[in-house]
Amino acid sequence: MDERTAEQLAVIVGGEAWQSGGGIWLVTVNRDDGSLVVFSEDAICEYESDAAFDAARSANTILLNIPETEDLYVIVDLKGDVFYQDNVMERGWRHEEDALHEARALESRGEGKFSVVRQSELPA
């Protein structure tokens, strides 16, 4: 996950965002019982202690996939304005069909013409 996503997730779950080696961002939540929950871009892992985390011995793991921002789809109007599924985090839709559906809904309300592009295709 990118830094911005990690920081937002940390706020939501009451944890701490930090960059581990190799540019990988994690969010950790220390529980009152001494256990640790770690969110990465591909899993949520529970560790009995910091020592178990250091030894990579998770007690429980849930695999998931948080797509990178560049892999998401956004809606763009004729003026170049960008519409996100989540404006605060500037994250688009995971599936192109969902973004297309939303763009058609905007058009049906007479709000203009829209196209759908990958977020990675937006000008920097």
pLDDT digits (tens, 9 = 90+) for 54-99: 999 999 999 998 788 889 999 999 999 999 999 988 999 999 999 9
Residue 2 has pLDDT above 90, yes or no: no
Sign of CA dihedral 43, 44, 50, 52: negative
Give the end of a domain, one of 43, 63, 83. Answer: 63
Q: Looking at the structure, do residues 73 and 54 belong to the same domain, yes or no?
A: no
User: Is 113 among the domain residues?
Assistant: yes
Residue 124 has pLDDT above 80, yes or no: no
User: Is 17 among the domain residues?
Assistant: yes
Residue 103 has pLDDT above 80, yes or no: yes
Residue 107 has pLDDT above 90, yes or no: yes
Mean pLDDT score, 31-35 = 95
The residues, ordered by sequence, that sit 6+ positions from 99 with a Cβ below 8 Å of its Cβ are 73, 74, 75, 85, 92, 93, 116
User: Is 124 among the domain residues?
Assistant: no
Which has the higher per-residue pLDDT, 22 or 54? 54
User: Is 40 among the domain residues?
Assistant: yes
Q: Looking at the structure, do residues 33 and 83 belong to the same domain, yes or no?
A: no
What pLDDT shows up at residue 65?
A: 83
What pLDDT shows up at residue 100?
A: 98
User: What does DSSP say about strands 82-83 and 114-118: parallel, antiparallel, or unpaired?
Assistant: unpaired
Residue 123 has pLDDT above 90, yes or no: no
Domain interval for residue 12: 3-63
* Percent of the chain whose predicted confidence (pLDDT) is above 70: 100
Paired tokens of 46: 């529970």
Give the end of a domain, one of 23, 40, 63. Answer: 63
CA-based R_g, the chain, Å: 18
| Domains identified in the chain, total number | 2
Give the end of a domain, one of 63, 79, 94. Answer: 63
Is residue 80 left, alpha or beta, with left meaning phi > 0 and alpha meaning psi from -120 to 50?
Answer: left
User: Is 18 among the domain residues?
Assistant: yes
